[in-house]
Amino acid sequence: MSKSKNRIQVFEHHTLKVDEAPNFKMVHFNALEKYGYKTKEKYFAVGNKRIKFNNYVGVIQVKNLTIEILPKADNNGVDQSSKDKWHNALISMLKECKLIKLNTISNAKLKLKSASILDLYYDLFLAETETIFKHGLRKNYRIVDENLNKVKGKILFTYHIRKNAFHKERFYVEHKIFDADNKLNQILYKALLILKTIAHNPNHNIRINKLLLNFEDISEENITKKWFEKLKFDRNTERYRKAITLAKLIILRYSPDLKGGNENVLAIMFDMNMLYENYVYRKLKALQSDSENPIINVKEQNRTPFWESKGLRADIIIETEDKRLVIDTKWKVLKDNKPSDADLKQMFVYNLHYDTSISILLYPKTTIDSSEKKPFRNEKYKEQNCQVAFIDLFNQEGKLEKELGFRIYNELIINEINTGVWNV
C-alpha cells in the first residue's frame, strides 16, 4: 500500500480484497463490480469481494480512492521500494510513448514519487486549459433560433405563426451570434465538470473552480465518442489539440453513477503488452539517427494479409541495406525459462512470411540470461533460427535505462549483422 490513505498501489495480475488494504471497502468494490461488468471485465476480473487485475496497468479512481496498477517483471518482492521503482518506470514509459507529457508541468520531477499517475493527467489537462484561456477561448459564429421582441436576422414564418399567434409583439427569428459556445469549449467544459466531481486534490479544486468561472456561458452537452471523431483542427484551433486529447481521455473513460451514489469511476488504463512493444520500438527507432550503427530502418509492421480476413503483424522489423530481423516483444515471465509452443510457432511463421532467417522473442529480464539462437528442427527450413532473449530495462541505479536501444543493439543485434545470417 502507498503512503497516502486515499491511494493504493498494486501490481498487475495481483488480487485486491475488500478490507485487506485498510482503505479498500465494500463501497469501492461495489462500484468497481458495476464498472467491471459494464466494461466486460476488460481491465480486471470481478470475484467474491475481490478484484483480480490482468495485463492492464494505469490508474482507477473510485469514489475518493485512487488505485494504481503497476507493471512488474522482476522477482524483487512487493515492498514500497519496489512499488516506487515501478511507479516511476511506468510514468517514464508513458512519457516515452507520448501517452503523458511532463515537460509542461512545473516541478514534474519532484512530483514523480509522490503524485499519482492520475494527478499528473489532471495537472496536465488543467495546465493546457489554463494556457488556452490565457490566450482567449476560441469564438466563432453560430446560427440560433430565438423568439425575440424585435426582428433580428430573418423571420421563420412557419414557427413564428405557430408560436406567436397570440403574441403580436414577438418574432421567431434565425440569426447569427459570435461567441465561445462551440464544440471545442464544450468538450473542455464537460471535462472540467467531471474533474470537479472526482478530483480530491485541493490545489486542483481551486484551479478547476477558477476555470469554471470562465465557462459559465458554455453549454453542457452529452459528449460521446462521435464528437471526437468529427473534430478537425486548423491553424486557429491547433492550440486546443493537447487539451482536447486529455479531455477525451477523461470524458470517455469516466463512468458516472447515475443513481447518485457518489461512486463514480474513472479509469485510465494501458495494455502493458502494447506499452512494452511501443517503448522498445521507440528506443530502437532512435538508433536510425545514429551514424555509428548500420541500422537504416526500424519500423512497426502493419498487419499484412495471411489467410482470408486473418493477418500477420510482427512487432518490430529491423533492416540494414541487405538484411532483416524480426523482434517480437513479450511482456511476461516465462515458466521454466521456456517460451510457449504458440510463441515459437508464431516466430517460425514470421521467419517465412518476412523472409528472414532470424527472429527474436524479447522478454523483460528477471534473473535469466539470453540464450543463443537455435534453429528450427526442420530439414526444409534448417536455416531458420529463433532466439529467446531477455533485456534488463533498468540501469544500476534502478531507473529505466535511457540507452535501452543501444543495449538491445549491442547485446542482440550487432552480432547478427556481423555474422551475416539474415536473409532478404
Nearest to 32 by CA among 260, 261, 265, 199: 265
CA atoms of 253 and 87, how far apart (whole Å) = 21
For position 102, what pLDDT does the model report? 61
> Which stretches of the chain score pLDDT less than 70?
1-5, 102-115, 148, 153, 155-157, 159-160, 175, 257-263, 367-370, 378-379, 417-424
C-alpha cell at 207: 484551479
Domains of the chain from N-terminus onward: 7-135+183-271 (no CATH), 140-179 (no CATH), 290-419 (3.40.1350)
Sign of the Cα torsion 121, 123, 129, 131 reads negative
* Residues 407, 391 contacting (CB under 8 angstroms): yes
C-alpha distances in Å from residue 408, one per residue of 62, 299, 421: 39, 15, 18
Q: What digits encode the pLDDT tens for the residues 142-191?
A: 777 777 577 776 766 676 677 777 777 777 777 677 788 899 999 999 99
Provide the pLDDT for residue 417. 67
**What are the residues whose beta carbons fall under 8 Å from the beta carbon of 271, sequence distance 6 or more?**
55, 56
How far from chain centre, in Å, is Cα 239? 21
Cα–Cα distance for residue pair 227/185, rounded to 1 Å: 12
Contact partners, residue 47, CB within 8 Å, separation at least 6: 15
> What pLDDT does 1 receive?
38
User: Who contacts 339 (Cβ-Cβ below 8 Å, separation ≥6)?
Assistant: 330, 361, 388
CA distance 86 to 72: 7
Residue range 105-116, pLDDT digits in tens: 444 443 444 567
Of 365, 121, 400, nearest in space to 266 by CA: 121
Half-sphere exposure of 191 toward its Cβ, with a 13 Å CA cutoff?
Answer: 26
CB-facing half-sphere around the CA of 40: CA atoms within 13 A? 0
pTM: 0.82
CA distance 112 to 119: 10
**Residue 157: what pLDDT?**
63
Q: Which helix (DSSP H) or strand (DSSP E) does residue 208 occupy?
A: helix 202-212
**Rounded Cα–Cα distance for residues 364 and 334 (Å):** 10
Q: Quote the CA–CA distance of 79 and 3 in Å, as a whole number.
A: 12
Q: Give Dmax (Cα) for the chain.
A: 95
What pLDDT does residue 260 have? 46
Query: What is the distance between the alpha carbons of residues 255 and 52, in angstroms, rounded to a whole number?
Result: 20
pLDDT in the model for residue 207 = 95
pLDDT of residue 418: 65
